[in-house]
Structure 1
């Protein structure tokens, strides 16, 4: 794809193979459009396909961006068809040896051998959303000793929402408001003045 993976845009330093490559940055509107595209893809896989498909590895490196910055879900190597009425738990169950997904993105129940499900993809999508708006990967060194990206964001909401958002988004906000914008502590978590 023309614009590579979402991973390259969210974490350009970690995924750049060229030292001279300029950092890629996504503005707020681009991020919203990408999450809408991914949600539409998941809806198609889960609800519109004749046999529902669970991706099982929803993460930024599997989201590809075309020349118009439209997001496409790729890498179906771990995907699973959901077969049968009520989705046949025996066919959809996995062992620990067959753990699906990537640590940090896969739902915790997958590590306990629970069956793959649409809900697992939705969990991974939620982690993807948190990553897109905090700028932090769930596999970041910050997240050790049972601290996860999900817990980190939950603890910060709603009082410290501006403290956890991606600095690129904060810079974008400040550039729109100008140098004389009020300090961030004057804003409520919904963006209105206190």
Structure 2
């Protein structure tokens, strides 16, 4: 994406400009709309599982797009079950309930 990731805008000091309040609010709304869609309008429900700033890419108009659905699971089907054990994902971004072995839920994304 032309404007990189949200992580780049929030954490890299070489950026010549920062996000203003309106841009931050719009990015937040874009992410919230995606989560609303995958949690409430997909059948079956989809849970991202590891949403972090580097998974939010920004296009030319600074519209946020969610990527990296590698840990995503469909809920309400048997396709979300996995026989492997252990913590998957990036430490600090995986919901604590997942680290304790709980089932994935939409609240983990939120």
Distance in 1, matches of 2:83 and 2:27, equals 33
Structure with the bigger percentage of helix: 1
- Give the corresponding residue for 2:91: 103
Deviation at 1:99, TM superposition (A): 2.6
- Give the corresponding residue for 1:31: 24
Matches within 5 A, 1:144-155: none
| Deviations 1:44-96, CA, capped at 9 Å, x for gaps | 11111121110011000000000000001001111111124xxxxx8656678
- Give the corresponding residue for 1:133: none
Matches within 5 A, 1:1-194: 1-13=1-13, 22-84=15-77, 92=80, 97-122=85-110
Gaps of 5+ in 1: 14-20, 85-89, 123-194
Superposition CA RMSD, Å: 2.1
Gaps of 5+ in 2: none
Q: Aligned pair count?
A: 110
Ranked by relative contact order (alpha carbons within 8 Å, sequence separation 6 or more), the top structure is 2
- Go from structure 1 to structure 2 and tell me whether the alpha carbon gap of 1:111 and 1:120 turns closer, same or farther (over 3 Å shift): same
Give TM-score scaled by structure 1 length. Answer: 0.51
SS in 2 for 1:114: coil
Contact 2:49–2:73 (CA under 8 A) maintained in structure 1: yes
Structure number with greater Rg is 1
Contact 2:50–2:89 (CA under 8 A) maintained in structure 1: yes
Give TM-score scaled by structure 2 length. Answer: 0.87
